[in-house]
Every structure is written in structure tokens, then in C-alpha cells.
Amino acid sequence: MKKLLIMSLLISSVTQAQFTFKGTITNYPNKRVVVKISRAFDDLVIGNVTTDTSGTFSVSVKEKYIGVIEVALLDAQRSFIFISDNTNINFTSSIDPDGNFTLNNPGNSINKVYQDYQDYDMKKNLVLPRLQSIADIYHPEENFYTPLKNEIQAIEGLKEPDTSKYPFLSYYISTSELIKNSERNNDPASTRNRIIEHFKNAGEEFETSGIEENILHSYLRLSYAGASNQTEWENKIDSAIESLLDEVGEDTRRGQDILSAAINFLNGYGITGLSNKYLNRAEAATCDISPELKETIAKNNTIKEGKIIPNIKFTHKLKEKYSSLYDIKTKYKLIIVWASWCNHCQQEMPFVKQFYENFKGSGGEIIGLSIDYDKKAWEDFVKGTSWLNDSDLLYWDSKYIKELNITGTPTLILLDQNNKILKISAKISDINSVIN
């Protein structure tokens, strides 16, 4: 009996949450909060919740996690960063009608140190230079001169908060500084080499820092600096990726994550030649490959012309009868991934409405999948359409982004009656030319 009790307690300890992430946001009642953690060049949504009447929410984190936690307040279009050391966080804050966020209690000791560092950094690197510039305008006999000088001296005397008790926080701050240095572009070659060394030598904290993609983009930006045309730009990008993969090791987990991120970067910029080059290399790998790279290979080989599209499950039951893409039996189907806030989408929609009149009559149907975050804005727009519409209202965290390998909006995907992809484009005119 005692053994059974001990075993039960052990199982319970495994299944219970590692820690709880909780917050109260004054003036944000009954609003949506999305909580994300970082996983190697990607974000993982661990909570999609609604605050109660007092603005409180809570999310249980099931696994040990030391890294960045991002809180997205979708209804206010604001995001904030917290640092996890695998202990409970219970913060209090407020947000005003203009969306200004004030953190009253950061929730635990590591985030108190992080808050102190942010205050120190802002005063030292933003406020101080401006005050010094203003001080040059004033003379000692003027009333404002003395208090201004006193404030300058006070800031100059500030000591940087000690983060030595929190290794991840120290790493996060130093890496953020590395990214800032790359943006200043004072010594591009030296900063580029430092980034390469960072990729090679950083510990496991790299994968949960939430700034992996920023580091890669900083490296690429420094690498293609000075390019005078598209061909030179692409050649510099290609050379930079090759060099980084050689340095880090393409057969390592981090090297494969970099390869995956590079493919996604190239797709985002429409550099299909280079994207296919590295995709083919990934497919030819003989070593075990990371889950992230496997997913990238699968998405790029599935969402392409000539392939059968996966059966996308809708967030809502459309017209009270369609639960998934395959439920819709028509001669053609046109998926449109769009958003009400997307200017390019708005420019294209009048042409889509014209196209739909004949498309519907010839046995076609449009499925609009929105990556909106504002429910009212989405509903107001779809009232003026007669095709099928769905949205999970998760912005760029929408499941449709990953499932359809979307890198920009609008994206139009034309399918035949067997769900084979006939055309992928951003223009309805391209879709029309395939059908007619």
C-alpha cells in the first residue's frame, strides 16, 4: 500500500505543472492573452486565454523551461517579455486607453532584476545622451541648468544591476547588446565574426532566448551590406549561409536549425532558387535531422504546386456543415490567407469579389482564412462577402500560417477537385489565368 502511495505521488509530480505564469492587468477585463515560449527559431503558444473581470489570467507551464516568455495582448496589440527561471511568476500591471503598459510588480525575483536592468539601460543609453545634449544649450546662471546637471550626474553614477545570480538573464542581456551593436554598424566585420562565434559557442540558452531569428538576420544584414544589385545581394546571402553552416556544423542540431531558419528566410524574400538549393541539401542529409528541419522540409514539399494539400481543420464549422477543407466538394477551391489590417489584401479584395461571381457559377468556392486579431474588424469585413470565412484571430500565431507555410499576405492557393495545388500566388489575376 505504501509503495502504491509513493508511486502515485511520483506520477502526480510528473504530470503537475512545473510552474505557473499568472498576471493581472488592470483595465484589461475579458480580453485575450496569448502566452508563448521560444523553441529554436520559433515560438510555441502555450496559452490562449481570456482574462477575468479583474484582468487576471493564469497559464500552467507543463515542462521545465528556462528562457523567454512572451505575452501578447491581442486586443491591445501589445507584447511584453518576461524571463523564466522555472519558478512561478505572478505579475501585476495596468494598461491605459492608449495602450501604455505599466508593470507594477514584475512577478518574481529574476523579473525584478530584469526590470531594474531595463530602467538602468534606458537611462544610461537613451535618457543620458539626450540630457547631455540639452545641457549644452543652457548656461550655469539659468534656473534649469543646476537640476539638469544634477540629474546627469545621478544617471552617470548609476551602477548596472547584478545579474550574476541569473545566468540566462545575463546571457539574454549580452546577446541583445550584440544585436544592438550589429545595428550600429560601427565595425561590421568584427561584429559579424562575434555573431559566428556566438552561434558556435552559445549554450542551450540560445534555443530559448527568443532572439535567435534576430541574431541570424543581424548576421545576414552585415553580410550583404554593400550589395549594389539583386544578384550581388543574393550571392552575398548565399555565401554567408554557407560560411555559417560550415562554422557551426551542418550535422549538428544547431546547424540544422540554422538551415531550417535560412530556408524560411529565403522563402520570405521570394528567393526560390536559393531556398530550393538549401531545401535539397536538407533532404539529402544522411544524419539524423532535427524536428524543426523535418517540419520545414515537410511544409516546403507539401505546400507547392502539383502537390496534394493537407486536410486543414477549420476553427469554426463553416455554414454549419464544413469542418475541414476536404468536406468542401467543388470543382475548384481557392484558399485566400489574408487580414483586414493588410493593405495589399484590401487592394486585392475588389478584384477577388469580381472574380468570385464567375468562379462560383463555374463550380468553384473561396475559403477565406484570416490571420486577424480584431474580431470586429474581421466580422465587419466578411459581412460584405458571400464565400466561406474562418479565423482563429491569433494574428501571426494563427495555425494557418504554419499549416500552409505562409510567409506573407495575401496568399492565394488554387486547388482542383482532388485537392491538388494548381497555383500559388498573391494576385487573383494569376489564378484567373489558370482557370480561363
How much is the pLDDT for 245? Answer: 97
Q: With CA atoms as reference, report the closest residue to 89 among 128, 48, 125, 60.
A: 60
Tell which of 90, 107, 124 closes a domain. Answer: 107
Tell which of 74, 107, 140 closes a domain. Answer: 107
pLDDT at 324 over 50: yes
Q: Answer whether residue 31 is part of any domain.
A: yes
State pLDDT tens for residues 42-66. Answer: 899 999 999 999 999 999 999 999 9
How much is the pLDDT for 181? Answer: 87
Query: What secondary structure letter does DSSP report for 386?
Result: -
pLDDT bin (cut points 50, 70, 90) of residue 17 is low
Q: Examine the domain organization and report whether 130 and 90 are in the same domain.
A: no
pLDDT at 186 over 80: no
How much is the pLDDT for 2? Answer: 45
CB-based contact 270:304 (threshold 8 Å): no
Q: Examine the domain organization and report whether 326 and 413 are in the same domain.
A: yes
Tell which of 92, 123, 156 closes a domain. Answer: 156
Q: Examine the domain organization and report whether 36 and 66 are in the same domain.
A: yes
Residue 364 pairs with which residues in a beta bridge? 332
How much is the pLDDT for 187? Answer: 84
pLDDT at 259 over 70: yes
Query: What secondary structure letter does DSSP report for 380?
Result: H
The whole-number average pLDDT for the span 97-114 is: 95
**Identity of the amino acid at 198:** H
Q: Examine the domain organization and report whether 89 and 16 are in the same domain.
A: yes
Q: Examine the domain organization and report whether 92 and 124 are in the same domain.
A: no
Q: Examine the domain organization and report whether 322 and 360 are in the same domain.
A: yes
Q: Examine the domain organization and report whether 60 and 149 are in the same domain.
A: no
Residue 395's φ and ψ, nearest 5 degrees, are 60, -140
CATH code of the domain in which 373 resides: 3.40.30.10
Q: Answer whether residue 82 is part of any domain.
A: yes
The whole-number average pLDDT for the span 108-134 is: 96
Task: State the Cα–Cα distance between residues 207 and 67, nearest whole angstrom.
Answer: 8
How much is the pLDDT for 16? Answer: 57
State pLDDT tens for residues 350-393. Answer: 999 999 999 999 999 999 999 999 999 999 999 999 999 999 99
pLDDT at 12 over 80: no
Taking the CB of residue 70, how many other CB atoms lie within 10 A of it? 17
User: Mean pLDDT for the chain?
Assistant: 93
Task: State the Cα–Cα distance between residues 112 and 33, nearest whole angstrom.
Answer: 22
pLDDT at 103 over 90: yes
Q: Answer whether residue 238 is part of any domain.
A: no
pLDDT at 9 over 90: no
CB-based contact 401:409 (threshold 8 Å): no
Task: State the Cα–Cα distance between residues 388 and 284, nearest whole angstrom.
Answer: 40
Q: With CA atoms as reference, report the closest residue to 191 among 175, 206, 203, 204.
A: 175
The count of domains in the chain is 3
State pLDDT tens for residues 67-86. Answer: 999 999 998 889 999 999 99
How much is the pLDDT for 4? Answer: 45
Q: Examine the domain organization and report whether 98 and 117 are in the same domain.
A: no
pLDDT at 412 over 80: yes
The whole-number average pLDDT for the span 176-192 is: 88
Q: With CA atoms as reference, report the closest residue to 34 among 94, 93, 89, 76.
A: 76
Going through 86-217 in order, the beta strands assigned E by DSSP cover: 89-95, 101-105
CATH code of the domain in which 59 resides: 2.60.40.180
pLDDT at 175 over 60: yes
Q: Answer whether residue 425 is part of any domain.
A: yes
Q: Which three cell numbers stand for residue 294?
A: 523535418
pLDDT at 226 over 60: yes
Task: State the Cα–Cα distance between residues 383 and 365, nearest whole angstrom.
Answer: 17
**Identity of the amino acid at 134:** I
Q: Examine the domain organization and report whether 96 and 137 are in the same domain.
A: no
pLDDT at 13 over 50: no
Task: State the Cα–Cα distance between residues 294 and 314, nearest whole angstrom.
Answer: 24
**Identity of the amino acid at 158:** L
Q: Which three cell numbers stand for residue 79?
A: 507584447
Q: pLDDT over 70 for what percent of the chain? A: 96
Q: Answer whether residue 174 is part of any domain.
A: no
Residue 157, SS3 per DSSP: coil
Q: Answer whether residue 283 is part of any domain.
A: no
Q: Answer whether residue 246 is part of any domain.
A: no
**Identity of the amino acid at 412:** L
The whole-number average pLDDT for the span 86-93 is: 98
How much is the pLDDT for 265? Answer: 93
The whole-number average pLDDT for the span 169-177 is: 96
CB-based contact 254:37 (threshold 8 Å): no
How much is the pLDDT for 28? Answer: 96
Q: Examine the domain organization and report whether 103 and 117 are in the same domain.
A: no
Residue 78 pairs with which residues in a beta bridge? 73
CB-based contact 270:279 (threshold 8 Å): no
Residue 69 pairs with which residues in a beta bridge? 37, 82
pLDDT bin (cut points 50, 70, 90) of residue 98 is confident
pLDDT at 342 over 70: yes
pLDDT at 5 over 60: no
Task: State the Cα–Cα distance between residues 342 and 179, nearest whole angstrom.
Answer: 29
How much is the pLDDT for 145? Answer: 93
Q: Examine the domain organization and report whether 28 and 101 are in the same domain.
A: yes
pTM over 0.75: yes
CB-based contact 85:111 (threshold 8 Å): no
Task: State the Cα–Cα distance between residues 374 and 68, nearest whole angstrom.
Answer: 26
Residue 277, SS3 per DSSP: helix
Q: Examine the domain organization and report whether 92 and 142 are in the same domain.
A: no
Provide the residue range defining the domain that includes 395: 313-435
Q: Answer whether residue 234 is part of any domain.
A: no
